[in-house]
Structure 1
Amino acid sequence: MNLEKILAISGKPGLYVLKVQTRTGFVAESLVDGKKITVNLRSNVSLLSEISVYTYEGEKPLKEVMNSIAEKENNGPAISHKEDVAAQAAYFKEILPNYDEERVYASDIKKILNWYNTLQAKGLVTTEEAVAEEVVEVVAAEAEAPAEKPKKSKKVAE
């Protein structure tokens, strides 16, 4: 799962994809409705690739948490972010058993589940294993395909 250009913009619902950088900020496209917005440099913007979740051992990158959800759900949707708080906490405990319950709030869990389901609905959720399998399949297919013989070039008489 590539979270490099996925943004969360404070004060704006949903997730956005970074499209173009401008002199005064950047243009982002909503993953929910596809509308493009301009965001100035003073806005509070977070790249999902830079977000981590507190655990008792340290911090775990959001990408790894999302991959854990994808593995559990077989790249399908997670429970809804509208479920009750206890159900969300129990689900998150299955995904990340050692998350720091004092520093990771119910609103954080809700946000992560919402983000995951948004990305999953857009087809942006893949586990690392699925990507590795696709690469292996492509390499195997290329190895089985007969290589084309180079065509002989004809010399043109001058």
Structure 2
Amino acid sequence: MGLDKILAISGKPGLYELTAQTRGGFVAKSLLDGKKIAVNMRHNVSILSEIAIYTYTEEIPLGEVFEKIKEKEDGKQTISHKASKNELESFFSEILPDYDEDRVYASDMKKIIQWYNILIDHGMTDFSKEAKAEKSDEEE
């Protein structure tokens, strides 16, 4: 399961796995409690593979940010998303030294850390490299 099947739905806590498409939307399963919900076009949905983090030079895909966190933490969970703003900024500076401090807010850092910890809890440790290889194989 790659990041292209993992969703963040605004107004709903945690992350969701895309399980099936319907006529008016799709069905998603919560990674927090396993409950399935119907999601229609009124919901604001973000696919994790489409999210990028601003730096001063370019936008870094979220999968690469997750990979950097994984390398720093040896594949284990990281700090709590409830850490102080200073702790979050310090942590982010370590994994992404050139992140754009004006456009990446503490709330964004909290989401990224929370999402990383949820994915690690569910045994997902491959965030970008193999998923990208699968995509390029499919395109050829």
TM norm structure 2: 0.89
- What does residue 44 of structure 1 align with? 44
CA contact (8 A) 2:80 2:114 kept: yes
Q: Note if 1:3 corresponds to 2:18.
A: no
The separation in 2 between residues aligned to 1:56 and 1:119, in whole angstroms, is 27
Deviations 1:90-121 (A, max 9, x none): 00110000000000000000000000000011
Match of 1:30 in 2: 30
Q: Is the 8 A contact 2:3 2:127 kept in 1?
A: no
Q: Which residue in 1 is equivalent to 2:69?
A: 69
Answer whether contact 2:68 2:95 (CA < 8 A) is retained. yes
1:22-80 per-residue CA deviation (whole Å, 9 max, x = no partner) reads 00110000000000000011210000000000000010000000000001111100100
The gaps in structure 2 that reach 5 residues or longer are 131-140
Cα pair 1:71 1:127 within 8 Å, conserved: no
Aligned to 2:135: none
- Show the counterpart of 2:134: none
Q: How many residues align?
A: 130
Instruction: Please identify runs of 4+ aligned residues in structure 1 that moved more than 2 A.
Output: 126-129
- Equivalent residue letter for 1:103: R
Kept in 2: contact 1:119–1:125 (CA 8 A): yes
Instruction: For 1:78, give the aligned amino acid.
Output: T
What is the identity percentage for the equivalent residue pairs of Structure 1 and Structure 2? 59
RMSD: 1.5
1:109-136 CA-partner distances (Å, limit 9, x unpaired): 000000000001111123668x7xxxxx
The aligned residue for residue 95 of structure 2 is: 95
Q: Distance in 2 between matches of 1:108 and 1:34?
A: 24
In structure 2, give the amino acid aligned to 1:109: M
CA distance in structure 1 between the partners assigned to 2:128 and 2:45 by the alignment: 26
Residues 84-123 of structure 1 aligned to structure 2 (within 5 Å): 84-123=84-123
Q: TM-score, normalised by structure 1?
A: 0.79
- State the distance in 2 between where 1:73 and 1:4 align: 23
Letter paired with 1:13: P
Higher-Rg structure is 1
Deviations 1:125-153 (A, max 9, x none): 23668x7xxxxxxxxxxxxxxxxxxxxxx
